[in-house]
Amino acid sequence: MNSAFRKAAVKVVTVALGAVLSAGVVAPAVAGPHLLVDIKTGKVMEHEDAFQKWYPASLTKLMTAYVAFRQIKAGKLALSTPIVMSKLAASEPPSKIGLKPGQALTLDDALKVLLVKSANDVAYAIAENIGGTEPNFVTMMNAEARRLGMSATNFVNPNGLPQPGQYTTARDLAVLVLAIKREFPEHAGYFSLEGVQVGKAKYSNYNKLIARFDGADGMKTGYICASGYNQVSTATRNGRAVISVVLGSDSLAGRTVQSADLLQKGLTDGPGFSDPSIYKLKPYGATRDQVADQTEIICKKNGKRKKVRSESTDEVGDNKTSPYMREITRPLEFAQITVIPADNDSAEAQAAEAEQVAEASPLVIYGRKVRDIPIPLPRPIN
């Protein structure tokens, strides 16, 4: 078992965010936390910096999906419910599928796009259609986090785009994944899709364990400069089921290999029954109340932006491989997504309403406008 503490051995940097986060300070860059949990027992099999606050990036969308699942179970929504795109939702930065205001997806298709393509516009649209407004939906997200016991998590948007005040921990993410797996087994298929197809565009799952690691069946990845490469993974094999959480890896390949290694250990080693459950693991870590920021390591060097990286491309970790993964020798399977055409009247009404909202004062959190934590830029086309 790893020790409860890991030294912040990565180069300590001062990141001038100019914002007061949860504890008033932004933590220096910290080597990425990780966690391994047995799903059936909830026992922690391995952990390091499990309580260090971290930017979730698109792992946020796990809670967005969880809130939707809860609404379906309560009878307030159906998988056939249309998720209509507003002008505000359509204006969200990439990753996105680019629906126009008034166009719609069924909730079923929206969830597929949310969890495979990690579409920020679709996440925002789900929030508006379920909560009435994005802020209302975020309130629902935080209420669910409190109810589940995610004591070191706070959400300020439904998609994980950079924004002060949005943070979580490896421990809290494991608690959320346990809730999804245990409460909604009927929705497990959303997390194991190999890809989605919208029109002629095909999008493969950012989770590279799917169809490549024996037993991999979910869940979600995420990346912004401030978080590094995050991944929550699940796998089931020979009656065993485990969760791995990897935060702050330096590359797409790096997080994939680390996740594969953890899952393999969890599926083949002893179940760790001597260790505490995820619910009884006691908080630790000298910097746990500060949000670690990886921007200087991931996207900058000496104050200058390094070679641009995004979640879908990885020139840093291309040479990293895992003996537990195999190549796919067949075409990927893509779930077909149907775009519902816009109703002209409703689309115009939504656009007019969005214009009114856009004219209002910008949202300010802790003295700063939203989305001022660096996000990776798209790679230039050679």
Amino acid (one-letter) located at 240? R
Q: Give me the residue label for tokens 């785009």.
A: 161
Distance CA 14, CA 359 (A): 35
> Catalytic: 7?
no
Distance CA 130, CA 126 (A): 6
> Catalytic: 300?
no
Distance CA 301, CA 377 (A): 16
Q: What sign for the dihedral angle of Cα 68, 70, 73, 74?
A: negative
The one catalytic residue among 95, 118, 227, 251: 118
The one catalytic residue among 58, 86, 249, 251: 58
> Catalytic: 11?
no
The one catalytic residue among 43, 61, 112, 220: 61
Consecutive H or E run containing 217: strand 216-224
Q: Give me the residue label for tokens 């003996």.
A: 323
Structure tokens at 252: 């797409």
Q: Give me the residue label for tokens 């391995």.
A: 46
Distances (CA, A) of 9 to 3, 6, 168: 15, 8, 21
Residues with a known catalytic role = 58, 61, 118
